[in-house]
Structures are given as C-alpha cells and as structure tokens.
Amino acid sequence: MQTPDSVGSASAARGGVDPTGPAAISGAGKSTVVFRSSQEATAATGSPFSKFPSPRLIRFASGLIVCANCDAQALLPHHNRSPRSFGLWVNCQSPDSGLSDPCAGLESGDLAQTRGWRQISGVRRLYKAWPPLAILWGKYNVVRSYWRQMLNHPVSSLRFLTINPETTNFTYDISNREDLISFLATELEIDTSQVRAMVAEIDSDDELRAELTAALRQRPDRSSVPLFGRRIGWYCVVRLCQPRLVVETGVHDGLGSSLLLAALRRNADEGHQGRLIAIDILSGSGWLVPKRLRTEQFSLVIHPSLDAIADISDPIDLFIHDSDHSESYEAAEYAAVNRVLSPRAILISDNAHVTSALRDLARNLGWHYAFWKESPADHFYGGAGIGIAVVGRQA
Ligand SMILES: C[S@@+](CC[C@H](N)C(=O)[O-])C[C@H]1O[C@@H](n2cnc3c(N)ncnc32)[C@H](O)[C@@H]1O
C-alpha cells in the first residue's frame, strides 16, 4: 500500500493533478491525498463537493478534507493554492469508516469507505450559532457568482439582497408559463388545454401551498412563499404521463419532490398508482415534504445518486436529473439509469441550460430531445432549463 505522501505524487503521475498544493501541505507535516476532480472527491467521500461544480466555487467554498483523528488530508486540485480555514473532516476511526488502518496509506479510494465525515469549519460553527451570519455569508457568495446578472437587474437584485433570505437554489415564479404549456403540449403530443388544466390544478392547490408555507416559515434562510418555477413542468409531466416510478436525483429542501408527490397523489386518486424515489447525498434533505405526502409512495434515499440508482431494479418511467450538475456526473447518471428505463420513459435534465449531457445521449441513441428555458419573474437569476428526452420516440 502507498504511503499518504506517495499518493499525491502517484496521483500526479497518473495525470491531471498539480502537485504544488499537496507538496505544500505535506511540507507542513501533514499527509495528503489528492482528488483529481470534484467528482472523484464526491465519489470517494460521499461529501457534497459536487455542489460546487465550477473550479472557482470549489476554490472559494471548500476543498480540504481532514481526518479528525490523524490529520491526513484530502485536497481538491483547484483548491491547492490557498487551503482555507474550513473544510470537511473525516474520522478514519469512526465505526462506519471501514478503514482498518487509520488513514495510514490512504488512497483517495480508501476514503470512499469513510462515512463518518462531519463539517466542523469555524465558519460553519458560526453559521449554526447565528443564522443571520450564514445568510450574510451566503449573500456574499451569491454576489461573487452572479454580480453581472445582478447589475443587469438592479431592482430585483436589491430586493433579493434586502428582503429575500435565500442564498441557494433560488425560487421564483416564471413569466413564460404559456411557452412552457406549448412546449409540453408539443413534447407530450397533446392539446395545450390539457397542459393548461394541470397548471391550473397547481394554482388551485391551496392545501399544498399552505403546508409548504407553514414549513418554510420555520426556516429563517428560506423565502416563506413556495414558488415552483419550472418545476410546474415536472408536475404536468407526472399528471399527464402517469408514471409508475419517478426518480428524482437531487432533493435539496424537497420543493420539487413535494410537487411530484402531489401529482402522484392525484394520479392515485384517479386509479393510477405511482411512486417517487428521491435521492440526495445530504442528510436532512427533503425536510420540506409535507407529512401528508410522506406515504408509501415516497422513498427518500440519502446516498450518492450513482450508488442509489444502482440499487433500483424496477422500470423507471420518469427520471429527473437535478443533483451534481457537472456534465460528467449528469452523463454518468443517465448511463446508470439507462439499464432500467421503461420503453417509453421520459428523462428530464434540470441542468440542460448548462450541459449537453442529455441532448448528446438522446442524439446517440436516436431519442427525441427538446429544450425549454424558463424566465424567472422579478428575479436577477437568468433561469434554468428543462431538457426532455423521450425514449423510443424517434428524434
Ligand atoms: C439543485 S439542488 C436540487 C433541487 C431540488 N430538486 C428542488 O426541486 O428544489 C441539488 C441537490 O443535489 C444534491 N447532490 C449533489 N450531488 C449529489 C450526488 N452526487 N448524489 C445525490 N445528490 C447530490 C445536493 O445535495 C443538492 O441538495
């Protein structure tokens, strides 16, 4: 087995890793394991590195994994010039770690067994002690990432910075609903009136809105008004296609899951049974899903999505990718589900405005593919998109 120090250089020798950072860390008397990408770190640790798909964000947000027991460190390559004061800590001696010899001879793959990581950064401790600091820190991050869009929308940006407590996974209404309705009608080969009826159903679901509002009010870092954005498209697809098995990767609070479950509940009331498997890597995800909808129709799996998908054996009728938005991870999810897609399955990419993973897959397999982009109302954010592929329907 390699020693920790030799792993850094061995990784570098395999290619793609700048050894400068790890060497600096080793020089400080610590052992270092280098991951070549956020995907590798995510796969190896089950940590949420995948939340930071861009190198800039990785560098800014985190990148250092430290064993609380023996100080072995894992470092993301983009982070290596300035390891920051906060990172993810693992404990090789945690009962779940699966490591027989505490961190000695660690390779990145060894960390895959380590389940006992915890976040103990100084900043994050402060977060917990004083939520307004978390919001301020989050706003600072948002401004760093979106300042160009913010300058173009000064009024909505000012509103966002002053009265909207959200710092991630922004929620908003969309101003191009009619476009969405036409898009779905075309893609599902139905009349626009059928889609419009489903949108009206969401609008009149006061029970769901009240449940979500009550839960959101408990969170100072969330807007208390549930706004579904492009997720209303997901709802319409579930209502109109009546899938038996829906899989959503990336749950976050559970706003999308709630809407999907509301649609499945209505389908069941009409005699069409269906269920949702919702997968997220972070424990605590899905907290927003109302109790009423947490029935046998709902399975929440806390696990890296690729592992969780590997455990699914029933045919998937609707697959929604909304987890790690790096192109390679998204493509890996499609490759993993392909084995269990039903003959007329629908795949939705919630990231199709950024990557071409679903479009490329559809092109390679001769499936029909189309893209629609939302326009957020009263928000600086430029909006995300829905990429939709229909298995078995000719391109
Ligand atoms: C954009 S959010 C999901 C939003 C959600 N679908 C909604 O409707 O609000 C992305 C989520 O993906 C999760 N995630 C990131 N990498 C993941 C992975 N490898 N496996 C599973 N979930 C992952 C994150 O923890 C985060 O909660």
236 and 338 assigned to the same domain: yes
48 lines ligand 1 (CB under 6 A): yes
Residue 263 maps to a domain:
yes
| Closest atom of ligand 1 relative to the 248 alpha carbon | 6
* pLDDT at 211 (0 to 100): 98
d(CA 106, CA 267): 50
CA of 39 to the centre of ligand 1 (A): 14
Q: Is the pLDDT of residue 320 over 60?
A: yes
d(CA 175, CA 181): 12
198 and 294 assigned to the same domain: yes
| Count of the separate structural domains present in the chain | 3
Q: Is the pLDDT of residue 12 over 50?
A: no
Contacts 24+ apart (CB under 8 A), 206-212: 207/292, 208/258, 208/259, 208/262, 208/290, 211/258, 211/290, 211/292, 212/255, 212/258, 212/288, 212/290
Pairing status of strand 73-75 against strand 64-67: antiparallel
Residue 99 maps to a domain:
yes
Query: Closest residue (by CA) to atom 16 of ligand 1?
Result: 324
* pLDDT at 167 (0 to 100): 87
Q: Is the pLDDT of residue 128 over 80?
A: no
Both tokens of 83, joined, read 């390891």
Q: Which domain holds residue 64?
A: 4-129
| Closest atom of ligand 1 relative to the 50 alpha carbon | 16
85 and 139 assigned to the same domain: no
Confidence of residue 135 (pLDDT cuts 50, 70, 90): confident
308 and 355 assigned to the same domain: yes
Query: Closest residue (by CA) to atom 18 of ligand 1?
Result: 304
Residue 289 maps to a domain:
yes
d(CA 34, CA 107): 8
Residue 167 maps to a domain:
no
188 and 136 assigned to the same domain: no
Per mean pLDDT, which range of 128-137, 323-332, 381-390 is the poorest? 128-137
**Cβ 238 vs Cβ 271: under 8 Å:** no
107 and 142 assigned to the same domain: no
Residue 171 maps to a domain:
no
Both tokens of 238, joined, read 């579930």
**Residue 35, helix vs strand vs coil:** coil
pLDDT in tens, 267-307: 999 999 999 999 987 778 899 999 999 999 999 998 888 88
Mean pLDDT value across residues 364-387 = 95
d(CA 176, CA 48): 32
358 and 276 assigned to the same domain: yes
* pLDDT at 324 (0 to 100): 82
Burial class (CB in 10 A: 0-12, 13-18, 19+), 19: middle
Cα Rg of the chain, angstroms: 22
Residue 186 maps to a domain:
yes
301 lines ligand 1 (CB under 6 A): no
DSSP one-letter string for 353-378 = TT--HHHHHHHHHTEEEEEEE--BSS
CA of 308 to the centre of ligand 1 (A): 13
354 lines ligand 1 (CB under 6 A): no
Of 188 and 13, which is predicted with more confidence?
188
Confidence of residue 85 (pLDDT cuts 50, 70, 90): very low
For the chain, what is the mean pLDDT? 76
Of 132 and 55, which is predicted with more confidence?
132
Burial class (CB in 10 A: 0-12, 13-18, 19+), 330: buried
Q: Is the pLDDT of residue 13 over 60?
A: no
Residue 169 maps to a domain:
no
Please count the residues of the chain. 395
Query: Closest residue (by CA) to atom 6 of ligand 1?
Result: 251
CA of 322 to the centre of ligand 1 (A): 6
194 and 119 assigned to the same domain: no
Confidence of residue 260 (pLDDT cuts 50, 70, 90): very high
What residue spans of 246-356 are helical by DSSP H? Answer: 255-269, 305-310, 327-338
| High-pLDDT (> 90) share of the chain, % | 55
188 and 100 assigned to the same domain: no
**Cβ 371 vs Cβ 387: under 8 Å:** yes
285 lines ligand 1 (CB under 6 A): yes
DSSP one-letter string for 311-333 = T--SPEEEEEE-S--SHHHHHHH
**Cβ 305 vs Cβ 249: under 8 Å:** yes
Per mean pLDDT, which range of 22-26, 298-302, 337-341 is the poorest? 22-26
231 and 280 assigned to the same domain: yes
| Closest atom of ligand 1 relative to the 323 alpha carbon | 12
Q: Is the pLDDT of residue 205 over 80?
A: yes
191 and 326 assigned to the same domain: yes
Confidence of residue 262 (pLDDT cuts 50, 70, 90): very high
275 lines ligand 1 (CB under 6 A): no
Query: What is the CB neighbour count within 10 angstroms for residue 339?
Result: 11
pTM of the entire predicted model = 0.74
Of 213 and 64, which is predicted with more confidence?
213
CA of 304 to the centre of ligand 1 (A): 10
Confidence of residue 98 (pLDDT cuts 50, 70, 90): very low
CA of 282 to the centre of ligand 1 (A): 8
Q: Is the pLDDT of residue 131 over 80?
A: no
CATH number, domain of 336, equals 3.40.50.150
Query: Closest residue (by CA) to atom 5 of ligand 1?
Result: 251
280 lines ligand 1 (CB under 6 A): yes
40 lines ligand 1 (CB under 6 A): no
Residue 170 maps to a domain:
no
Q: Is the pLDDT of residue 206 over 50?
A: yes
Query: Closest residue (by CA) to atom 14 of ligand 1?
Result: 323
157 and 247 assigned to the same domain: no
* pLDDT at 138 (0 to 100): 79
248, 252, 301: residue to mutate for ligand 1 pocket, most atoms within 8 A of CB:
252
